[in-house]
Amino acid sequence: MADRADLLSFSREEFRKEYFYRNSLAEENRQRENQAAIKIQSWFRACKVQAYISHLHKKAVFIQKIWRGFRARSHFRQMVKAAYFIMKMNFYEEMAVRIQRRWRGYYVRKYVHSFYARKSYLENISVKNEQIRKDLDELEELQTRERKCLEMVKEQTTQIYQAHRLHHLLSTKQCPGVFNSPFKRGPHEMELLLRQVKYQAPTRLTPRDRLSVGHAWPSSPQFS
């Protein structure tokens, strides 16, 4: 019985050691297998992403090829249209030049080198020149009249302004004026103008004007 008990106790110890040993081996293998599985998964996912990116790149290249071809064809069509339009315009210009050359040659041969046509042409030009000269003379006369009228108005305005300023020189019964000379049959024209205008009171000056001018002059007259 003792031997059987020792055998059982020995087998239990061996079983426990074997159990712990195999568990430690399984734990080490599990970690190694986990790392290996992670590497395999990362490699597989990288392969999938690379394949997907390559697929997208091929599709993008295909789309770009189609778009660039479409743009190149449209640009070429525009170039062909522009070249055709330029060619047509050059052809039309050349035909217009031919028509103008033929018409001018015909006109010169028929009218310019014809004596009677040339004579009538010159007569018409002379008539037009005479009319233009007459119009210019009338315009010049009108402008001269306008200038003279403006000068007369300006001169009259100046005389009236001077009369306002020299109103104190008007002659009276007690004191004859400067312009009322006793040696003349009639009064001076300034005397008549002084009689027509009204007296205008002098305006007040600022202190600065009083320093610069000794006395006050009347303001500019207000004419009706």
* pLDDT, tens only, 26-66: 777 888 888 889 999 999 999 999 999 999 999 999 999 99
Position 224 in a domain: no
Position 96 in a domain: yes
Distance (Å, rounded) from C-alpha 19 to C-alpha 26?
A: 10
* 20 has a pLDDT exceeding 70: yes
Mean pLDDT lowest among 3-7, 136-140, 142-146, 164-168: 3-7
221 φ, ψ to 5°?
-70, 150
Position 53 in a domain: no
| pLDDT for 143 | 94
More confident: 82 or 206: 82
CA proximity to 217, closest of 159, 209, 160: 209
| pLDDT for 175 | 64
CB–CB of 188/179 below 8 Å? Answer: yes
Which structural domain range is residue 137 located in? 115-157
Position 10 in a domain: yes
CB-neighbour burial class of residue 41 (10 A; exposed 0-12, middle 13-18, buried 19+): exposed
- Domain count of the fold of the chain: 4
Residue indicated by tokens 């195999």? 22
Distance (Å, rounded) from C-alpha 204 to C-alpha 207?
A: 9
Q: Over the chain, what is the mean pLDDT?
A: 79
More confident: 86 or 178: 86
When pLDDT is cut at 50, 70 and 90, the band that residue 190 belongs to is confident
| pLDDT for 199 | 62
Letter string b/e over residues 114-147, b meaning 16 or more CB atoms within 10 A of that residue's CB = eeeeeeeeeeeeeeeeeeeeeeeeeeeeeeeeee
Residue indicated by tokens 């090829």? 65
Count how many residues are written for the chain.
224
Position 129 in a domain: yes
More confident: 137 or 23: 137
Statement to judge: residues 121 and 147 lie in one domain:
yes
Of 99, 131, 157, the residue that ends a domain is 157
